[in-house]
Amino acid sequence: MQDPESYLSSVFGFENFRPGQEEIVRAVAAGKNTLAIMPTGGGKSLCFQLPALMQDGVTVVISPLIALMRDQVRGLRTAGVEAGALTSGNTAEETDAVWTGLEAGTLKLLYIAPERLAASGTERMLKRAGVALIAVDEAHCVSQWGHDFRPDYLRIGGLRQALDVPLAAFTATADAETRAEIVDRLFDGTPPEIFLRGFDRPNLTLAFEVKNSPRAQILSFAAARKGQSGIVYCGTRAKTETIAKALRDDGHSACHYHAGMAAEDRRIVETRFSREDGLIVVATIAFGMGVDKPDIRWVAHADLPKSIEGYYQEIGRAGRDGAPADTLTLYGPDDIRFRRQQIDEGLAPGDRKTADHGRLNALLGLAEALGCRRQVLLGYFGETTEPCGNCDLCATPPDTFDGTQPVRKALSAILRTGEYFGAGHLIDILIGNTTEKITQRGHDTLPTFGVGMEFDKRGWQAVFRQMAAHDLVRPDPDRFGALRMTEAARPILKDEATITLRKDALARAPRRPAVKTLVSEEDAPLLSALKAKRRALAEEARVPAYVIFPDRTLIEMAETRPATLDQMAQVSGVGAKKLESYGRTFLEVITGDIPDIPHPARRKLSGQKAGGLYDRLLEVQARLARGPRGLDKPMRCSSAQLARVAEAQPGDLGSLTRLLGDRHAERFGAAFLEVLSEAG
């Protein structure tokens, strides 16, 4: 086997490996199963392209993006390497060239999309082709709860076993949980050689700003970098279009990109961005994975990313050429609420939602950091470093204060209310706001009621936000977002530790119109849970979500919190059929308990006056089942008979006898008529 350095120089024109590349290349070339986590721009592709040249046979590269595959194939062919791709975007000539190369044994790298693995003939074709290695790019796509999940990635482990060849998996970022999932799904649980390379990108300047006219902030940031290629990430499709227009109106070359665009329009933007200098793309996270443009000089987030991993991946698209690049992330309370809601409305199980809230807390910790941001970011990935001198906090340290006492007060309020409420209710307790909810629950008698007068409501919101950023509290998905204290908070509560908070986070922002929300802050987590259940049912039935229940029905459920089928039937939009189909399911979400299954005859009366009568008649029947003295032979009416009596409400013994028969009317008639008479 030829030495990798010769190929590195002769084929790719590099004199030296980048840090960490060589040992990964040698492990892959030696036929070892390998997982490499390397920073964006760290040279992952070379780590499977070089071994492909060093050994006989073809290397199959599974990659999630057609555009990236085509770019890499073009680059390899330009470098004299026989490479091809089988994609839906191929011309007939390109596909013929791939088959010819496979038959002749000259093709060294074959790129395919994971979706091709679902085709029945793919495995047979690869067995005939003489595959020597499987390389998996963007391996984190195998994580079932990641935002880049691709279901067909789950087929790769089976392909490895069927071909009986080594597999090398690569990704730019993966926390310990995702790494474990990759090992389980791609390597059948047998640990491969794992290479975890440094995450530091010292050429990137890191900065965060609290939102204060975000469009103007983005325009100002872009104006200072006019003529440079950049990406603006937005949380919604609509915002990508409005900010792109604002940038164009301000004299920039800018376009938008999101998953709702036609495939051809997205392809045009991708092509323009790869070819044009100084173009700004304003996009959702649909744009980015596989972006291989080396001279992106800046990345801005108009909205808070989903997680610290997402943030790291997205800023990592800047400065891949190693030259200086800038990043800016805007955030505010609405962002945090939106990201919490996304987690709560997702279909992940409770423990996964808790972990996702933890990841969001880690990002908030970076946003609310007290010192060097790079130290905080790398600390999350298990690395240590000196203060970087290349972030906004190194340039201008924040103003801080001892927040130990306010945090203790907040933690006390959480514990004294049973860890069953969100920040809104807790803040009302701390500032002594006598709401109906507080008086109903007797929380105005708590020792913590009114002890937090040193801050107004906005100030306490900042305290709670920073407590989340320090991972002292986490929302509990099983309690609709109620705050629960973490172990990290106990030393502070017990007066064994202190905590420093940022003063600038308490500053009052300029006045602006209040954000209109569907429900109150306290009801929002339950509404999110109801929406998540609706989404799961809609996906299972393959119907639009509103077919299950419209938003206004879920809003009423969240506000009124029905506890029985009778109460659920009173909610607007819950008809008999939907009550039958979905009532118990949504009651379980609201109450946290599995409701009893009533007899079908009783269930049909839910929400009606007859339902209450049925229950009263059932009680009377139980009392008289063995006669007035309890000595007679047991006797009962059927559920259908009781339902008929409740609906018909007969006014005399003759009418009742016709419904029940002589024997039952003799035993229960007088008592039943008394119940019906009282009901009027």
Q: Are 587 and 607 in contact (CB under 8 A)?
A: no
Which one-letter DSSP state was computed for residue 391? B
User: Which residue segments constitute the domains of the chain, with CATH numbers given?
Assistant: 4-196 (3.40.50.300), 204-331 (3.40.50.300), 400-506 (1.10.10.10), 524-597 (1.10.150.80), 609-679 (1.10.150)
Q: Provide the strand spans (E) within 91-247.
A: 109-112, 131-136, 167-171, 193-196, 204-205, 208-210, 230-233
If one compares 429 and 38, the residue with the highest pLDDT of the two is 429
Per-residue pLDDT reduced to its tens digit, 399-413: 999 999 999 999 999
> Quick check: 562 pLDDT over 80?
yes
Return the H-helix or E-strand segment holding 36: strand 34-37
pLDDT of residue 516: 44
- Per-residue pLDDT at 509: 44
- The yes-or-no verdict on residue 640 having pLDDT over 80 is yes
pLDDT digits (tens, 9 = 90+) for 202-231: 999 999 998 888 999 999 999 999 888 899
State the average pLDDT over residues 188-213: 90
Q: Please give the mean pLDDT across all residues of the chain.
A: 87
**What is the per-residue pLDDT across 108-162, written as a single tens digit (0 to 9) for each?**
999 998 988 988 888 889 999 999 999 999 898 898 766 678 889 999 999 999 9
**Beta pairing, strands 400-402 & 109-112:** unpaired
Q: Are the C-beta atoms of 20 and 46 separated by less than 8 Å?
A: no
**Tens digit of each residue's pLDDT (9 = 90 or more) over 232-269:** 999 999 999 999 999 999 999 999 999 899 988 988 99
In percent, how much of the chain has pLDDT > 90?
Answer: 42
pLDDT category at 471 given cuts 50, 70, 90 is confident
- The pLDDT score that the predictor gives to residue 364 is 92
Average pLDDT on 428-432 reads 96
Question: pTM, whole model, 2 decimals?
Answer: 0.70
Cα(112)–Cα(166) distance, rounded to whole angstroms? 17
Judged against a pLDDT cut of 90, whether residue 168 lies above it is answered with yes
Query: Residue 511's pLDDT is what?
Result: 42
Which pLDDT value is given to residue 50? 95
Helix (H) or strand (E) holding 315: helix 308-315
State residue 353's pLDDT score. Answer: 86
Which pLDDT does position 505 carry in this prediction? 58
CA distance 42 to 6: 20
Ranges 41-45, 288-292, 502-506, 657-661, most confident = 657-661
- 593 vs 208 pLDDT, higher one: 208
Return the residue matching tokens 């085509």: 70
Element (H, E) at 62: strand 58-62
100: closest CA among 117, 115, 82? 82
- Lowest mean pLDDT segment, chosen from 242-251, 511-520, 526-535, 604-613: 511-520
pLDDT digits (tens, 9 = 90+) for 434-455: 998 899 899 999 999 999 999 9
Whether 535 has a pLDDT exceeding 90, the answer reads no
pLDDT attached to residue 514:
41
Q: Taking Cα atoms as reference points, which of 99, 158, 111, 103 lies closest to residue 130?
A: 103
Give residue 329's pLDDT: 97
Neighbours of 116 (CB within 10 A): 17
> Do 298 and 252 meet the contact criterion of CB atoms below 8 Å apart?
no
At residue 342, the pLDDT reads 86
Average pLDDT over residues 195-201: 85
**Dihedral through CA 581, CA 586, CA 591, CA 594, nearest 10?**
40
Task: With a cut of 90, say whether residue 198 has pLDDT above it.
Answer: no
Contact (Cβ atoms closer than 8 angstroms) between residue 485 and residue 465: no
Q: What is the mean pLDDT of residues 482-486?
A: 92
Q: From the DSSP assignment, how many helices (H) and strands (E) are in the chain?
A: 31, 18
How far is Cα 173 from Cα 1, in angstroms, rounded to an integer? 31
Contacts of range 599-605, beta carbons closer than 8 Å, 24 or more positions apart: 599/639, 600/639, 601/639, 601/640, 601/642, 601/643, 602/639, 602/643, 603/565, 603/579, 604/576, 604/643, 605/643, 605/646, 605/647
Average pLDDT over residues 446-475: 91
pLDDT for the residue numbered 518: 64
Quick one: average pLDDT of 35-58? 89
Helix, strand and coil percent figures for the chain, each rounded to 5 = 50, 10, 40
DSSP of 605-633: TTTSHHHHHHHHHHHHHHHHTT-TTS-SP
pLDDT band for position 507 (cuts 50, 70, 90): low
Phi, psi of 371 (to 5 degrees): -135, -160
Around Cβ 436, how many Cβ atoms within 10 Å? Answer: 7
Inform me whether the pLDDT recorded for 545 exceeds 80: no
DSSP string, 219-266: HHHHHTTTTS-EEEE-SSHHHHHHHHHHHHHTT--EEEE-TTS-HHHH
